[in-house]
Amino acid sequence: METNWDIVIVGGGPAGLAAAIYCGRALRKTLVLEKQVFGGQIINADIIENYPGFAEPIVPADLMEQMSKQAQRYGVELENDEVTQIRPENHSWRLDVYDRFFTAKAVVFAAGSVHRFFNVKGEKELLGRGVSICATCDAPFFKDRKVAVLGGGDAAMAEALHLAKFASEVYVIHRRDELRAEKILQDRVFKNPKIKLLWDREILSFQGEQKLEAIELKNKKTAVVESLPFSGAFLAIGTIPNTGLIKDYVDLDDNGYVVTDISLSTKAQGLFVAGEVIKGNRRQVSISVGMGVQAALNCEEYLVSLE
């Protein structure tokens, strides 16, 4: 495979693929590197109802497959590999992967984010054995069982609604006394007879030997600690940005998000960012797509300035 590229895009989610389409159409030799599966985390969602231009709900995997094909149509190469190091070298960028490296005149960094965990006892041990980060993938395992969704945002509500099609009971457990999810999703959750809400709860531990059996919770208002039996616990408490690889070349806030402006440039020449790595991104496919386009256009302007 070719080593030297005009542009390497790190991340094959909505931001990375949108950038790829524009880079390809600018006739730049473009490579997209994705460490997991092309499409990003959104492919694990059940449906998308708010992506502009589609009156009916769409299947995220279908949308992302179209984006991948659209990028490939303009000559972009998609490669499944994990970038382990990025550094400037000889006025360009070097990107190391597992057993080789690539160089690029410019990089669009759109590596997205990873699921946030509680980091409490039992969580890691029971991941995949009742503790889950994907309701769409795992809901059928919990048919007629009692499950919990931990979180209060859009993702948590979507997971609860999906799980209610399978589970006997779904408890949404949230650390506050109000939800921050879209009102339309809240409304559906409140009206669903299978879904109950537990407010002001702190997660203390996940309990069970070979599989999850209970969640230990603390009521933040009464300080009462209780252990409630659940077969499944679905984590939806946000994400952590994947910015470790570029931390030396960008400004990061206290939570690890890149601080930038509409230029989507960084303090390092030829390094652009897009998508969920950016501070203030509201985690919507449409926003990440727009950012990918913006980053690609600014990247193109930068490459032209070098010529």
DSSP state of 127: B
Closest to another protein by CB, 64 vs 250, is 64
* Catalytic site includes residue 23: no
Q: How far is CA 61 from CA 50, 130, 166, in A?
A: 15, 25, 21
Closest to another protein by CB, 39 vs 275, is 39
Binding range to another protein, per CB under 8 A, among 134-142, 174-182, 284-292, 294-302:
134-142
- Tell whether residue 140 is a contact of another protein (CB under 8 A): yes
Overall size of the chain counted in residues: 307
Q: Which two tokens stand for residue 158?
A: 């979507």
- Tell whether residue 130 is a contact of another protein (CB under 8 A): yes
Taking the complex as a whole, how short is the minimal distance between the CB of residue 264 and another protein, in angstroms? 26
Size of site (CB under 8 A) for another protein: 33
Degrees, nearest 5: CA angle 216-221-224: 40
Residue of 62, 137, 187, 248 marked active site? 137
Distance CA 88, CA 9 (A): 15
200 in Cβ contact with 226 (< 8 Å): no
Closest to another protein by CB, 34 vs 154, is 34
Taking the complex as a whole, how short is the minimal distance between the CB of residue 223 and another protein, in angstroms? 32
- Tell whether residue 166 is a contact of another protein (CB under 8 A): no
- Tell whether residue 118 is a contact of another protein (CB under 8 A): no
| CA atoms lying within 13 Å on the CB side of residue 279 | 13
- Tell whether residue 240 is a contact of another protein (CB under 8 A): no
Residue of 23, 138, 154, 299 marked active site? 138
Distance CA 242, CA 84 (A): 12
174 in Cβ contact with 197 (< 8 Å): yes
Q: Which two tokens stand for residue 22?
A: 């524009």
- Tell whether residue 127 is a contact of another protein (CB under 8 A): yes
Q: Scan for tokens 């795992």, then name that residue.
A: 138
Q: In a 3-state reduction of DSSP, which class is residue 112?
A: coil
Closest to another protein by CB, 9 vs 250, is 9
Binding range to another protein, per CB under 8 A, among 20-28, 97-105, 285-293, 295-303:
97-105
Nearest Cα to Cα of residue 76 among 24, 3, 6, 5:
24
**254: enclosing H helix or E strand:** none
The residue type at 13: G
- Tell whether residue 138 is a contact of another protein (CB under 8 A): yes
Closest to another protein by CB, 14 vs 130, is 130
- Tell whether residue 211 is a contact of another protein (CB under 8 A): yes
* Catalytic site includes residue 134: yes
- Tell whether residue 61 is a contact of another protein (CB under 8 A): yes
Nearest Cα to Cα of residue 60 among 72, 48, 70:
48
Contacts with another protein, residue ranges (CB under 8 A): 34-39, 43-44, 60-61, 80-82, 97-99, 127-130, 132-134, 136-138, 140-142, 210-212, 232
Residues tagged active-site:
134, 137-138
